Every structure is written in structure tokens, then in C-alpha cells.
Structure 1
């Protein structure tokens, strides 16, 4: 499938509260955001359609050395989605342009996932937003509030996202066959992206600390493609960085 018209924005925030300067951490002598960009390129996204969206000139300078396009965005954004929306506004992308929001702290993100999501949104334009899920196979993940669960209805429609163990099989509490973990990668048209960012924080979003609930609370539809592959953890802490660096430098 031709992805020549799909844009990928990689939010790369320097001012991370848990790990300041995270996007510039080196793996194989390249900054973390470079590796995420490579996963997009491997998925078939044109390098000229990949934008590093950051809050810091140091990341802009490093991206330039590596021949990657980048933009300075506001340091006041509370989410990567708002940063992606600012990029779409600055570059004046048309409302039908498809934009991928690929987190800049997941250097091991499979390129096949990016390709799967891109294919899904092209083939399912009826959804306002598209994201990805993967089956939960361990009960410890099912009951872990840090693992966000996606509850799916018919034809890939996401009904809800929650930190609670859900959905619950009343007749067999050990059954987790319909449980899915949400993967934090999104695709949307610029029109849907702008609409999403125009809404204030929703009560459920604030309650569960899940921004996708802002979309559902305001009537936007979310499609979820199922990705049947175990996914690596992103980099949130120094410990995460050391583990992933060791894996990638073997």
C-alpha cells in the first residue's frame, strides 16, 4: 500500500518530568528520536513526511545533523496530541491529511505496527481516530492499572478505555479472552485532530488520566486494529533506558 501522503509526527519533549532530556539519550550513538524515525521509514513513511515536534532547540539542532525535519512547538502542551495538532496548524496541512502520532520514547516500536495502523486508517476512514491494541495474555497485566485496557465492540470499534480489569466475564472470572491492551499510537485526519483538540478536558479523561476518553466523551469514534505481537516497553525511567539500550546494542 502507498503511504506517500501520510504524515508522521514524533513528539519529542525535552522537559520530561521523570527523565529530562529523554529524546537525546543515545542508543548506538544515535538519539532516541532518530530510532523512532527509522521505524517510521521502515514502515514506508517518506522521510520528508516525518516531523520531530519538540520544545527544545537542542533537539532541533540534533535533528538537523541527522537530516530529519523538526519544528519547535509550545512548552505548555499537556499532551503529545496537542503538539501534533500545532505541527498540523503550522504546516497548514489539509483537513483530509492523515497524521500518525508516534511516541518519541519507543525506539523498539515495531515498524510492522506502524504499517498495520496506516493500512487500517486508509481502509477504515469512517473512524474519527484510529489506534492499536494487542491481546492481553497474562492475568497480571489484566489487573495492572498501568496497563490500559481497551474494550472493543463490533468491527473494531472501541467502546471504552480503562485502567480497571475489563471486560469482566461474569461466568468465568479467569477468562481474559476479550481483554486487550491499548497501544499508545494514533492516526487521524487533520480535521479530526483539530476537533479533538478543540474540546476541553473531559471528566472521565481527568478521572482515569486517559486522553482518548475525551474523544469518546464528545462523540468521536475510535477504531482499533488488533496487532498480534508482543510489544516492548517504552522509555519512562533511567532503568527503562538502560534495559532498552542493552537490548538494542547487543
Structure 2
């Protein structure tokens, strides 16, 4: 299938303003993400941004960038606009949304997100990892996947929650917010209005589940490190300077 990797990037982060252009080992963070996405070998990689300076930095390092409008409420909306601009002929079948604040992401993780599409009934594919630290099981910032096991490495998602779930003995899974969409699923998703559970949990993916769309999660062994705070940025600099 024809695959397009899109990396949404905006400068208006509340906790770390300007983070796409934050210097890490002499290179803007967004360029590190683009490089790792390219190493996944899935196809075309494009950064979708509403800021010209981000686009210029990306292009200066040999990658593509596309301008999108300011004011998108989510990365999904931004990548949908970018898709329409980049592929008016509708040749792309699969879109992978890689967050722009994952400068150390393993390219194999990006590949893993496409594995659930071996089942033609899957609309959206994502990733999860087993939670091993007790404090993360009760942390509302660690989103949990409640799912039905399909194999040792895959769940069919039934719900996503900030609560500690499911109840009882057994593993809990942390949702990794990297998504792959079939084109028709992305088109349907962005046309939907925010749903009641989405508003309550503040989790966009619940909109798809409430609309009857199927989301499967591939279970991986390592989670990508996201940069959200100045401390995270310093850690990324340490990791990528060695």
C-alpha cells in the first residue's frame, strides 16, 4: 500500500514554546524526528506546520514541509489538510501520524504501527506497551488501553481511559499516541464531531470508537521518549549527544 508519513509541528506549545526548532546536538528537534521517520523506509515523509520558520528549517535539512492553516484543534485535522494538499490525486492509501516531539523514536516502532492493517477490518492502528511501574498505573497522564487480546502482540481496542483499567489481575497497557489511518478512516474521523466520551476523558481516539470504527493496537517493547518540558529537552540532548 502507498504510505505517507506526516509529522505535525506547531510552535505554540504551552509547556515548551518553540519546541520544533529546539536545538538538539546542533539540529532542530523536528529534523531529528523526520530523519527517524525516513529511516522507517515506509515512503514519503513530510512535516505539516503552520509556521514558516519550521518549514524553512525542515527544507534546509533536505526534508519536505507543507504549510497548513493556523488554528487546527488537533494533529489529525492538520494532517488531513496536509494530505489533501500533497495528494490531490488520492494515490496515498495509508497515513501515519508521527508526533513531532519524539526525537529519539525507533524507526521500527513506526513500522510496527502498520502491522494491524494485515486485517482488512481495522480502520485505525496504534501502539501500546505494558505498564511495569506501579505509579504509572494510577497516573491519569498515562492513558490506558482497554482491549480484547487478539494475540500476544495485539489488542482490539474497546476503550481508552485515564483511569486505572481494566480491573482485576492481568497486565495494563499504556497507549502510545502514534496512529496509522486508512485514508477512508481518516476522512471519516475528521468529519465527526467531538463525542461525549472524548470530551469527558479528553482523548480524541474515543471519537472513533464511539462512531463504531475499529482500532487495533500493536504491543511493542519500548516506548518513544516525548519532549514536553525543559527537563525533557535536556534529557533528549544528553541522549542524542552521545
Query: Is TM > 0.5 for Structure 1 vs Structure 2?
Result: yes
| Counterpart residue number, 2:180 | 187
Deviating 4+ runs (over 6 angstroms): none
| Counterpart residue number, 2:204 | 211
Alignment counterpart, residue 51 of structure 1, candidates 25, 46, 49: 46
Distance 2:69 2:234 in 1: 29
Deviation (angstroms), 1:45? 2.6
Instruction: Decide whether aligned partners of structure 1 residues 50 and 96 sit closer, same or farther in structure 2, where only a CA change above 3 A counts.
Output: closer
Work out whether 1:157 is the aligned partner of 2:144. no
Deviation (angstroms), 1:96? 6.1
Deviation (angstroms), 1:124? 2.4
Instruction: Give the conservation status (yes or no) of the 8 Å contact 1:64–1:70.
Output: yes
Instruction: Give the conservation status (yes or no) of the 8 Å contact 1:117–1:132.
Output: yes
| Counterpart residue number, 1:132 | 127
Q: Deviations over 1:85-125 (max 9, x none)?
A: 1111112252761000000001111111111112332x123
Work out whether 1:111 is the aligned partner of 2:103. no
Instruction: Give the conservation status (yes or no) of the 8 Å contact 2:114–2:125.
Output: no
| Counterpart residue number, 1:220 | 213
Alignment counterpart, residue 66 of structure 2, candidates 65, 71, 75: 71
Question: Greater shift after overlay, 94-103 or 32-41?
Answer: 94-103
| Counterpart residue number, 2:93 | 97
Uncovered stretches (5+) of structure 2, i.e. residues with no partner: none
SS of the counterpart of 1:90?
helix
Question: Greater shift after overlay, 202-211 or 11-20?
Answer: 11-20
Instruction: Decide whether aligned partners of structure 1 residues 93 and 237 sit closer, same or farther in structure 2, where only a CA change above 3 A counts.
Output: farther
Q: How many residues align?
A: 237
| Counterpart residue number, 1:196 | 189
Alignment counterpart, residue 23 of structure 1, candidates 14, 20, 25: 20
SS of the counterpart of 1:151?
strand
Instruction: Decide whether aligned partners of structure 1 residues 106 and 220 sit closer, same or farther in structure 2, where only a CA change above 3 A counts.
Output: same
Work out whether 1:141 is the aligned partner of 2:136. yes
| Counterpart residue number, 1:37 | 34
Uncovered stretches (5+) of structure 1, i.e. residues with no partner: 170-174
SS of the counterpart of 2:16?
coil
Distance 2:42 2:147 in 1: 28
Deviation (angstroms), 1:51? 0.7
Distance 1:125 1:39 in 2: 27
Deviation (angstroms), 1:68? 0.7
Distance 2:107 2:116 in 1: 14
Deviation (angstroms), 1:235? 0.7
Deviation (angstroms), 1:167? 0.5
Question: Greater shift after overlay, 182-191 or 88-97?
Answer: 88-97
Deviation (angstroms), 1:166? 0.4
